[in-house]
Structure 1
Amino acid sequence: MQQAAVFLAILTWAFPLHAQTDAGMAPDLPVWQMAQGLLGGLALFLFGLDRTADALKAAVGDRMKTMLARVTANRVTAAIAGAVTTAIIQSSSVTTVLVVGFVTAGLMSVSQSVGVIIGANVGSTMTAQIVAFKVEQTALVMIAAGFAATVITGRDVPKQFGNIVMGLGLIFFGMRLMSDGMAPLRDYPPFMEWMATMESPLPAILVAGTFTALVQSSAATAGIVIAIASGGLISLEAGIALIFGANIGTCVTAVLASAGKSRIALRTAAIHVLFNIGGVLIWLPFIPQLADLVRGLAENGQAAYAAANVPRQIANAHTIFNLANAMIFLPFGNILIWLANLLVPDRPEPESVVPKPKFLDSQLLDTPRMALHAGRQELARMAGIARESFNRTIDGIVNGSGDPYEAVHPALVDLRGLHRAQINYLAHLGRKDLSHEESARLGHQVAVSHNLFRIAEIIEGDLLPAARRVRTWSMSGATAGRGRALAGNVSTALSDLEEALSAPESGRGAAVGEMKPIIDLTIAQSLDAETRWLAGLKESLRDEDIDQMLSEMAVIEAIKRVYSQARRAAREAGTDALDESVSEAT
């Protein structure tokens, strides 16, 4: 509403209410009545659009978003997925924002995103086709029927269907109010003179692009353009130019969504901008030909019919324009990627004291399945840091090269920081409307994050101090071989945990638990060997020998505790994977 008020103010400034014409002073405009019709109609239109989109998303939107992240084997299927998703959620901007989030979270590559972005523009034409129907007379009936369905039934599906019908009724009624509110402008010379400038495409593109950027909805712009056309205020050519402007203005949403994100996310937004602007530039010289084409598609080619159906022709032009652009750009997706790489080149990431999550993206929180998938990816990254920290510590003990604390401490600080970021992310996700399976998965991921945090604490608080003590002398023959074997097994367990988190279908989590008998046997053998080593020293036993044994057993004990936390994390990760498969099946 605020943006619409700004737009009305711009219109008022562009053509004052009192203007001198050849016939004398122009009549006063009923400004208050016009403002009520335009702003009130726009508010109902946008509210109806949101209501319809919310109902559609509640019914199938989550599955559409899941499909969007997965059905990207090639650019054609990716484009189809983008078109279907956008048609369902009624917003190419939302689809593009989701794509930026998926790319940031590692759920989709930049190459895969090209097809989805192209398809999203095709799907956005569904809104224009819907609002071009002349069903304003039944709008109030649709609102009443839809409202009755939401009140009478308690079942979810009929209730959402009622919301869809009511939302569509609000859209059509809002368009009728906007059209009626602007009707006096047909007899207002300054406005008609200003609208005549819209026959030149550049002013029309600028106005529509600015408005779309303000309201961040090309669907709203398309609705207003069709409402204006219904009142006979603009020609088909001007309507096409305004639609072109809406396509450019919607790029602002993608740019805002990528702000502060990775270079990959910025490139995804750049692809969206290049595609939309490139498509407009290709068609800009051919607006008259496109107008003639859609007029020729009018029923039986009748001129009278074509002139009376400018709104439908604008919607058809919008569809033809985006379909043609999709067919033009799909084969040249690699060129779009190349241009995006030129616009957003690689550069070293600035160093930060605070570790930055790689996969967690707040834009995924409205899609719990995708957010949970991103959470698993971040946990896999944390498991990799834990594994590398453990290996470096053991390497410092075995090879005695450098102080392991200096090599490991920064990574452990990062691991603790990522644990905090992970818990914060999952806490925000927990405030969403989650299913039972999604809530269970969230709990498992919290547990895994805590297990990885405990591994960091064990390495820094127990293993590193014990390693420092052991390095003051060589490891005893009783422990050296078995200690290396034990550490190797635990390193393998941490690697299996990492794979179980990044690829649940691998089943590697079970391997971590199956290693327990081997770990227990190795520890028991190490303790027995240490005891026999001390007993063999007899009279030559020194206090230093006892200290060495205690230090070596402290290392063994710390390694065992690292494994215990890894085993618990693997068990939680395996249960999370089961819940994920159940959630997808339902």
Structure 2
Amino acid sequence: MMGMIAQATAQSVDWLALGMGLAGGLALFLLGMGQITVSLKVVAGDRLRAVLARLSSNRIVGAITGSVTTAVIQSSSVTTVLTVGFVSASLLSVTQAASVIVGANLGTTVTAQIIALDVTEYALGLLAAGAALAAFAGRQRTTLAELGTATVGLGFVFLGLDVMGDAMEPLGRYQPFLDLLAENNSPLVGLLIGAVFTGLVQSSSATTGIVIVMGASGLLELETGIAIILGANIGTAITAVLAAIGKSRDAWRAALVHVLVNTVGAAAWIGFIGSLANLANWIGGDAGEGQATPQQFANAHTAFNVVNTVVFLALLGPLVAITNKLVPASVGTKPVGAARPAFLDQDALATPVIALEVTRRELLRVGLRVRSMLVGGVPAAMAGTRRELSDIEQRDDEVDALHSEVVAYLRDLSRRQLSKAQCSEMLRLLRVNNELEQMADVIVTGVVAPGLRRIDEVVTVSPATSSRMVDLQHVVLGTLDDALEALGTGDPDAAVRAAESKADFYDLELMATEHLENRLTAPDPARIAAYSIEVGMVDGLRRARQSCRRIASAARVEQPEATT
């Protein structure tokens, strides 16, 4: 395609043309890989969260999940970042994450095998087909549109490989370069080159692609190329470390699993590169058969990743134990104040599936804060001190601050590339956030405020009335617990239970109101003031239950019309 991009005689090369060809081809390759990853991550993101959230401690299941995920989204780095994010959000244990990370390397073999196929001549056809799919889907972020974008990305990958291959073709006739390769064929040099280059471009697939292109051009011997590919595995370790910065201790441990698996796994093969090359020759045919060489590199890549996966799965227990010892308890994020978010990670915004999950975790934290207001607010309103009631108001200020943080976080998330399902979930979480803030306000205006009036007007709440209020409080707390369960697990039954609490509350509310009305006949001058205060508390608890009902309704994927 670009056979004229660089021309050489026996002693000269147009280095400018060669450099532009390599740089441009690499740029096309990375652009294509990025498009594939982003689009397929949007398509698979919600399914991925569901799978990871339900992972058991079965290491085989975890490894299969990691390998399939990587094969689908075409990036072990993204799988690792996702996994570290889920560990940070306490959705996965380190052991569960370790099996996923080990399996992720196996998934990269699919990428290598695709690159090794001699399909660069179809690059323009893939670009056309992908663009047609995306255009047919329109501007909606549908699965069809994302698949179209991913197909365009695959076209760019093959086009980039073709450009780089044409750019390097003159080097096969440039003797000084061939002599340089012959003099520097040490496996350690290849390992270092692969690690450094991969660390710079943040893509082991790019390194593997260049190795395959150079092999196809006759510029790399099989053993040298294998060493570079091994080094690429080491170079990807930096991605996990970057993903763990600012995260929890367990997130650091999960990242260290990735570092150990990739570095130890690659280094262990240094002494067996010759055997690995012989195995690749046996699987892929003689290196002298033209286009067989790219397949040999891919087969070698597959072979050592399969062996490494089996070995590290068998050693998963000791591997996790080592990371637990290497990462002390002091590593990780420090405790945050009650008015500061504990889970909203700015880095997670790049991966919407994680950003939505950490938002959910933050809202559960806010929900527990609101629950504590209700638990402490009712007894304080009936018989507590002004200081106790002020403490409830302080918690409301903290909920207000967290509400603003969540709104800002979801606003930033809305600017990212989201699927239709993710947009819907984001709006549900925003609604839950608003309802929690409103419930906190209701507790202040409907429970704390009457309590302050009780103190100001020196009113004593009778034990019988207090008992009625506690009964109402228990129903509201149960409804809130069901609402938070619906938020945390998506359990529709929990949302139904929250809705059904209306009948129980209504019966108790009627009994409490009748009790207060009967007490109006008592010959006590303060009864009218007491009645006003106590009826205000009943109304406040009724409105709090309604807020719980709306929270449960918002937390459901399929929302019925909220009624109270």
**1:96 aligned partner:** 80
SS at match of 2:461: coil
Aligned mates of 1:172, 1:239 — CA distance in 2: 20
TM-score (norm 1): 0.82
Q: Give the drift of 1:480.
A: 1.9
**1:150 aligned partner:** 131
**1:246 aligned partner:** 232
Query: After superposition, where does 1:24-43 map in structure 2 within 5 Å?
Result: 27-43=11-27
Query: Residue 461 of structure 2: which of 475, 478, 501 is its match?
Result: 475
Residues 160, 274 of structure 1: alpha-carbon distance in 2 compared, 3 angstrom cutoff: same
SS at match of 1:536: coil
Query: Residue 509 of structure 1: which of 495, 520, 531 is its match?
Result: 495
Aligned mates of 1:334, 1:187 — CA distance in 2: 52
Tell me if the contact between 2:284 and 2:299 (Cα under 8 Å) persists in the aligned partners. Answer: no
**2:256 aligned partner:** 270
Residues 146, 256 of structure 1: alpha-carbon distance in 2 compared, 3 angstrom cutoff: same
Tell me if the contact between 1:383 and 1:497 (Cα under 8 Å) persists in the aligned partners. Answer: no
Letter in 1 for 2:490: P
Tell me if the contact between 1:147 and 1:162 (Cα under 8 Å) persists in the aligned partners. Answer: no
Query: After superposition, where does 1:131-170 map in structure 2 within 5 Å?
Result: 131-136=115-120, 139=121, 141-144=122-125, 146-147=127-128, 150-151=131-132, 155-156=136-137, 167-170=153-156
What CA deviation, in whole Å up to 9, does each residue of 1:515-542 have, x standing for no partner? 22333343343333333324221xxx33
TM-score (norm 2): 0.85
Aligned mates of 1:71, 1:217 — CA distance in 2: 29
Q: Give the drift of 1:217.
A: 0.6
Q: Give the drift of 1:475.
A: 1.8
Tell me if the contact between 2:382 and 2:451 (Cα under 8 Å) persists in the aligned partners. Answer: no
**1:203 aligned partner:** 189
Query: Residue 336 of structure 1: which of 281, 296, 319 is its match?
Result: 319
**1:81 aligned partner:** 65
What CA deviation, in whole Å up to 9, does each residue of 1:47-100 have, x standing for no partner? 333445456556x53465346525633221221121112112111111111212
Query: After superposition, where does 1:47-58 map in structure 2 within 5 Å?
Result: 47-53=31-37, 56=40
Letter in 2 for 1:261: K
**2:399 aligned partner:** 415
Q: Give the drift of 1:247.
A: 0.5
Letter in 1 for 2:253: R
**2:378 aligned partner:** 394
SS at match of 2:521: helix
Query: Residue 294 of structure 2: which of 311, 336, 339 is its match?
Result: 311
Query: After superposition, where does 1:486-525 map in structure 2 within 5 Å?
Result: 486-505=472-491, 507-525=493-511
Letter in 1 for 2:207: T
Aligned mates of 2:31, 2:505 — CA distance in 1: 62
Q: Greater CA deviation, 422-431 or 276-285? A: 422-431
Query: After superposition, where does 1:57-456 map in structure 2 within 5 Å?
Result: 60-62=43-45, 65-66=48-49, 68-70=51-53, 72-73=55-56, 74-136=58-120, 139=121, 141-144=122-125, 146-147=127-128, 150-151=131-132, 155-156=136-137, 167-186=153-172, 191-192=177-178, 194-196=180-182, 198-299=184-285, 302=286, 304-305=288-289, 309-347=292-330, 350-353=334-337, 355-361=339-345, 365=349, 371-397=355-381, 400=384, 403-405=387-389, 407-432=391-416, 438-456=422-440
Q: Give the drift of 1:154.
A: 5.4
Letter in 2 for 1:555: M
Q: Give the drift of 1:360.
A: 4.2
Aligned mates of 1:64, 1:545 — CA distance in 2: 60
Q: Give the drift of 1:274.
A: 1.4
SS at match of 2:90: coil
What percentage of residue pairs aligned between the two structures are identical? 35
Aligned mates of 1:294, 1:202 — CA distance in 2: 20
Letter in 2 for 1:482: R
Q: Give the drift of 1:420.
A: 1.9
Aligned mates of 1:201, 1:391 — CA distance in 2: 66
Q: Give the drift of 1:363.
A: 5.6
What CA deviation, in whole Å up to 9, does each residue of 1:8-61 have, x standing for no partner? xxxxxxxxxxxxxxxxxx945421121122112222322333445456556x53
Letter in 2 for 1:42: L
Residues 409, 336 of structure 1: alpha-carbon distance in 2 compared, 3 angstrom cutoff: farther
Aligned mates of 2:287, 2:510 — CA distance in 1: 94
Aligned mates of 2:73, 2:39 — CA distance in 1: 9
Which consecutive residues of structure 2, in runs of 5 or more, have no partner in the other structure?
1-9, 138-142
SS at match of 1:403: helix
SS at match of 2:317: helix
Tell me if the contact between 1:478 and 1:526 (Cα under 8 Å) persists in the aligned partners. Answer: no
What CA deviation, in whole Å up to 9, does each residue of 1:375-422 have, x standing for no partner? 444333322221122102224346748932465455433322322222
**1:560 aligned partner:** 542
Aligned mates of 1:485, 1:159 — CA distance in 2: 54
**2:512 aligned partner:** 526
Q: Give the drift of 1:449.
A: 1.4
Aligned mates of 2:512, 2:41 — CA distance in 1: 59
SS at match of 1:36: helix
Residues 260, 235 of structure 1: alpha-carbon distance in 2 compared, 3 angstrom cutoff: same
Tell me if the contact between 2:485 and 2:491 (Cα under 8 Å) persists in the aligned partners. Answer: no
SS at match of 1:260: coil
Aligned mates of 2:199, 2:530 — CA distance in 1: 70
Tell me if the contact between 1:185 and 1:191 (Cα under 8 Å) persists in the aligned partners. Answer: yes
Residues 500, 248 of structure 1: alpha-carbon distance in 2 compared, 3 angstrom cutoff: same
Tell me if the contact between 2:378 and 2:473 (Cα under 8 Å) persists in the aligned partners. Answer: yes
Tell me if the contact between 1:384 and 1:495 (Cα under 8 Å) persists in the aligned partners. Answer: no
Tell me if the contact between 1:71 and 1:81 (Cα under 8 Å) persists in the aligned partners. Answer: no
Aligned mates of 1:158, 1:465 — CA distance in 2: 55
**1:463 aligned partner:** 447
Residues 56, 198 of structure 1: alpha-carbon distance in 2 compared, 3 angstrom cutoff: farther
Aligned mates of 1:54, 1:217 — CA distance in 2: 14
Tell me if the contact between 2:195 and 2:232 (Cα under 8 Å) persists in the aligned partners. Answer: yes
Residues 565, 226 of structure 1: alpha-carbon distance in 2 compared, 3 angstrom cutoff: same
Q: Give the drift of 1:205.
A: 1.9
Tell me if the contact between 1:68 and 1:85 (Cα under 8 Å) persists in the aligned partners. Answer: no
Tell me if the contact between 1:71 and 1:77 (Cα under 8 Å) persists in the aligned partners. Answer: no
What CA deviation, in whole Å up to 9, does each residue of 1:273-311 have, x standing for no partner? 111112113222222222222223343xx5744x97433
Residues 407, 195 of structure 1: alpha-carbon distance in 2 compared, 3 angstrom cutoff: farther
Aligned mates of 1:197, 1:462 — CA distance in 2: 83
Aligned mates of 1:64, 1:485 — CA distance in 2: 42
What CA deviation, in whole Å up to 9, does each residue of 1:81-137 have, x standing for no partner? 21112112111111111212222233333222112111111111222212222344x
SS at match of 1:221: helix
Aligned mates of 2:535, 2:486 — CA distance in 1: 30
What CA deviation, in whole Å up to 9, does each residue of 1:174-203 have, x standing for no partner? 323323323444455664454346432222
Residues 161, 514 of structure 1: alpha-carbon distance in 2 compared, 3 angstrom cutoff: closer
Q: Give the drift of 1:165.
A: 5.8
The alignment's C-alpha RMSD in Å is 3.3
